[in-house]
Each structure stands twice: as C-alpha cells, then as structure tokens.
Amino acid sequence: MAFVIRKFDYQETLGAKLKAIRRSANLTLSELSAQTKIRKSFLAALESGEFGRLPDPVYARNYLKTYVRALGGDVGYFLEQFESECGTCDFMKHARLPRQRARAWQFLVASRYVKIFLVALIAISVVSYIGSQVRAIVSPPDLLVYEPSDGFLTSEAYVTVSGHAEAGAQVTINGKTVLLSQTGSFETELALERGLNVIVIESAKRHSRTATEYRRVVLKQDDSISFSN
C-alpha cells in the first residue's frame, strides 16, 4: 500500500489526524473496519473525538493501536495525543478509577449508612427507655380515697378518712403523715370544726409529683346549715 507523507498540524485533534491518514490511504471507514475487525462505530468515535462512545480504556487503546498500525502511522505519537486529550474528559476520569475500588467504595458508603441507621435506632431506643423511666419516676402515684365522700354532711365531731395509695408512697392528710398497711391502705380519724372542713389528702414518692384529693365535709351545727357545691 502506498502512502502519502503528510505533515501534521500540531493544533489538530487526534480525530482529525486519524481521519487525515485514513483518507491519505484512500480507505473508507467501512473498508478500514473490515481490515482491522473493529466496529465502524468505534472507528468513527475515534475520528470524531467522542471518546465516551468507546469501550473501556484498555480496549480503546488497542483499537487505536490497530487503527494506526493498519495505516502505517506512529503508534506512540497517537497514543500520547490520545492520553493528552482524554486526560480531562469524563470518559478518562471514570476509566482511571479501578473498578473494584469503586465497588468497594460504594459498599463502604452503604455500610456506613447502615451503621448510622443502627446507631440512630439504638440511640432512639435508649432515649425512649430513659424517657419512660423518667416519666414513671416523676408521675404522681396512684391515690384512691374511699371515704368520706366529697360534700359529706355530718353531725359527728370526727370523720373517718380511708383509702389506698401506691406501694412506697408517703400519704399525708392535712399535712400530717399517716401510716400505710402492707397492702397500701390507710385509715385515720380526723377531728372536725364546726362548719365547712376541707380535707387535703396527698400522696407522693421520692422525686415524683404529688397526687392530691380534696374532700369537703360539713359539721352540722343546726338545721339551717347546709352544703352547696
């Protein structure tokens, strides 16, 4: 095959130079494809500078070598320009990253997100547990007052105050502590004054809020005195 010696313009792109030497050899892309066994679309991509249409860099370089050798060109020269032009393109950026490393990085990121999710889940569980324990500690203990009923009217000077409190709670009636039985029940006699008596029954545990019940009792003096809500 006879070749025409052509002086290259060093401002020309790789693709323009490849096309020039192919045309100098009087070959079409189809003929060069048949000769080199390289797809015509890959040859066209090399000549148009569309390196993103080429396969992996190893194959792209081999195609370029085969292309240049088929036309009797300087392989080293064209490879050098190929590296120079592709060094700033997205094709080469992706190609230069080892694929296995990229997959490992992606796995690492996914693993990191899983760890963050698990740590956040554990943290939420711990906070929820601590919150429930704090609420249990500060919540007022259970308190039930059986007697007297609110608005109780009596002519007796004493009234029985009885009820039930949560285990471990301290109960006071009008500020005075009363003893609880083992089951948490309490009962005491309270002296009344004539007229309206407001009985305050309170129950509290250490660090908790206070549960409070009020009972209004009227000690009747004569028939003219009555209780109204």
Q: Is residue 6 part of a domain?
A: no
Instruction: From 182, 152, 148, 187, select the one nearest 168 (Cα to Cα).
Output: 182
Q: Is residue 130 part of a domain?
A: yes
Helix (H, G, I), strand (E, B) or coil at 50: coil
Residue 15 DSSP label: H
- Residue 118 and residue 157 in one domain: no
Q: What is the pLDDT of residue 222?
A: 61
- Residue 90 and residue 105 in one domain: no
Q: Is residue 180 part of a domain?
A: yes
Q: Is residue 7 part of a domain?
A: no
By DSSP bridging, strand 158-165 and strand 143-147 are antiparallel
Q: Which domain holds residue 110?
A: 100-138
In degrees, rounded to 5, the angle at the alpha carbon of residue 115 between the alpha carbons of residues 111 and 116 is 115
Query: 183-200: per-residue pLDDT in tens?
Result: 999 999 999 999 999 999
Q: What is the pLDDT of residue 106?
A: 52
Q: Is residue 161 part of a domain?
A: yes
- Residue 92 and residue 108 in one domain: no
Extract the residue ranges of the chain whose pLDDT is less than 70: 1-11, 87-110, 222-229
Q: How many separate domains does the chain show?
A: 3
Q: Is residue 3 part of a domain?
A: no
pTM above 0.75, yes or no: no
Q: What is the CATH number of the domain that holds 163?
A: 2.60.40.10
